[in-house]
Amino acid sequence: MISPSSLTSPAERVTPPPAGDGRGRRVVGSRQAAVLTVLAVLAVLSFLATLAWGSVAIPLGDVVAILGGEEASRRTWEAIVMDLRLPRAITAVFAGVATALAGLVMQTLFRNALAEPYVLGVTSGASLGVGLVLLPQGATAGLGAALLAAFAPLASIGVVAAAAIGALAVLLLMSAVAARVQNLVIVLVAGIMVSAFLTAIVNVLVFFARPEAVVAFTAWQFGTFQGVTMAQLPVLGGTVALGVLLLALSTKQLNASLLGERYAQSMGMSVRRLRLLAMASTALLAGAVTAFAGPIAFLGIAAPHLARGLLGSADHRVLIPGTALVGAVVALAAGVFAQLPGTDAVLPLNAALALIGAPVVLRVLLRLNRTGAGFTV
């Protein structure tokens, strides 16, 4: 009798020549290495541009000098770069990387090209948290005021904490759903329902709130990279780093789930563990960004598609760094654009993101479609 293991035990047969022309084994192809390099260079350039451009243009030489701890040509430039633009640039990098990666995880987990952190209700949770803090301010009369007054004590929590608590609460709820429900589509629809429910509450609050409070809330909804201080950056950075770490640890599972949950399960993957890991990392990534920079839309859905198209791969070992770089580049570029260099005017960040991002993404996707590159999640 031939034992079944003779089929595959390595010592039994002479190793056949590598598959194809031998490229099969390589994780990162030459095209992908080139794309990643270009993206990294672009990220550095747009980081420097963020420091150099704004209402005041500072020569790159001076920017580099200031970063190096040397004297700049003008004293005020040092304050502008170190106190204003550096935190903004770092925030943009964190926010870009985090939102893009959170989108990638959601798309892979749900095997849905339209999935992003918001479909889980994360942003709605954060919005409600922030709404409960900002909207009751100054309410005086009527039934609505009585309703809002009940939440007034929440104002002491602060916007960041409120957003974080809101996002976390929704994610705990959704994790409970994901652990119980087998069908992922139901989880997806449940997230959208939770999101709609929470948004409705926010709308009621907005309806009864005073105009000044609504303006403050709307400003938060526009998103910004400017609100984070140097002291807050380690908190944002640490949370994002933890989320990225969880994601990196699930690379193998994410790749396996490209074949679908049942195949992944049949190869020894714990579906429940991946769901919880993916949702925890999304909570950390999207929750931290929403808390500090507001609901950054668009990047979560666009960056993974852009990275897949540019890299021509669905393999998370190259997609994770690729998506992170795309997210950073787009966020930095949008940040620069939002400052409208050379003017004093500032655009809402989310508007800037979509204004420059959407045409770029559209163009890349249409070109890929024309060249016939396979495009799936």
**Total chain residues near other proteins (CB under 8 A):** 47
SS3 97: helix
- With CA atoms as reference, report the closest residue to 171 among 246, 261, 273, 278: 278
Q: Which is nearer to other proteins, 218 or 266 (CB)?
A: 266
Determine if 371 is a binding residue for other proteins (CB under 8 A): no
Determine if 3 is a binding residue for other proteins (CB under 8 A): yes
Q: Which of 91, 99, 313, 339 touches other proteins (CB under 8 A)?
A: 313
Q: Which is nearer to other proteins, 25 or 75 (CB)?
A: 25
Q: Who contacts 303 (Cβ-Cβ below 8 Å, separation ≥6)? A: 96, 99, 100, 103, 104, 323, 326, 327, 330
Determine if 365 is a binding residue for other proteins (CB under 8 A): no
The least CB distance from residue 15 to other proteins, in Å, is 5
- With CA atoms as reference, report the closest residue to 280 among 106, 50, 35: 106
Within 18-47, which residues bind other proteins (CB under 8 A)?
Answer: 18-21, 23-25
* Cα separation, 195 vs 299, whole angstroms: 19
With contact defined as beta carbons under 8 Å apart, do 247 and 143 qualify?
Answer: no
Q: Which of 74, 262, 363, 367 touches other proteins (CB under 8 A)?
A: 262
Q: Which of 98, 165, 198, 269 touches other proteins (CB under 8 A)?
A: 269
Determine if 267 is a binding residue for other proteins (CB under 8 A): yes
* CB neighbourhood size of 40 (10 A): 14
**Whole-Å CA distances, 119 to 15, 125, 189, 301:** 48, 11, 8, 11
- With CA atoms as reference, report the closest residue to 275 among 170, 178, 174: 178
The least CB distance from residue 369 to other proteins, in Å, is 13
Determine if 6 is a binding residue for other proteins (CB under 8 A): yes
Q: Which is nearer to other proteins, 17 or 153 (CB)?
A: 17
The least CB distance from residue 249 to other proteins, in Å, is 7
Q: Which of 132, 160, 171, 256 touches other proteins (CB under 8 A)?
A: 256
Q: Which of 188, 268, 335, 371 touches other proteins (CB under 8 A)?
A: 268
65 exposure class (CB count in 10 Å sphere: 0-12, 13-18, 19+): middle
* Cα separation, 157 vs 136, whole angstroms: 13
Return left, alpha or beta for 342; rule: phi > 0 is left, psi -120 to 50 is alpha, else beta.
left
The least CB distance from residue 259 to other proteins, in Å, is 5
Determine if 252 is a binding residue for other proteins (CB under 8 A): yes
* Cα separation, 51 vs 64, whole angstroms: 9
Determine if 255 is a binding residue for other proteins (CB under 8 A): yes
Determine if 348 is a binding residue for other proteins (CB under 8 A): no
Determine if 315 is a binding residue for other proteins (CB under 8 A): yes
The least CB distance from residue 364 to other proteins, in Å, is 15
Q: Which of 28, 56, 64, 111 touches other proteins (CB under 8 A)?
A: 111
Q: Who contacts 250 (Cβ-Cβ below 8 Å, separation ≥6)? A: 274, 277, 278, 281
Which tokens in the block code for residue 295? 């609901």
Determine if 376 is a binding residue for other proteins (CB under 8 A): yes
The least CB distance from residue 107 to other proteins, in Å, is 11
Determine if 181 is a binding residue for other proteins (CB under 8 A): no
Please tell me the total number of residues recorded for the chain in this structure: 377
341 exposure class (CB count in 10 Å sphere: 0-12, 13-18, 19+): middle
Q: Which is nearer to other proteins, 203 or 369 (CB)?
A: 369
* Cα separation, 121 vs 190, whole angstroms: 9
Q: Which of 251, 347, 351, 355 touches other proteins (CB under 8 A)?
A: 251
Q: Which of 85, 88, 275, 308 touches other proteins (CB under 8 A)?
A: 308
* Cα separation, 65 vs 234, whole angstroms: 24
List residues near other proteins by CB under 8 A: 1-8, 10, 13, 15-21, 23-25, 111, 249, 251-252, 255-256, 258-260, 262-270, 308, 312-315, 374-377
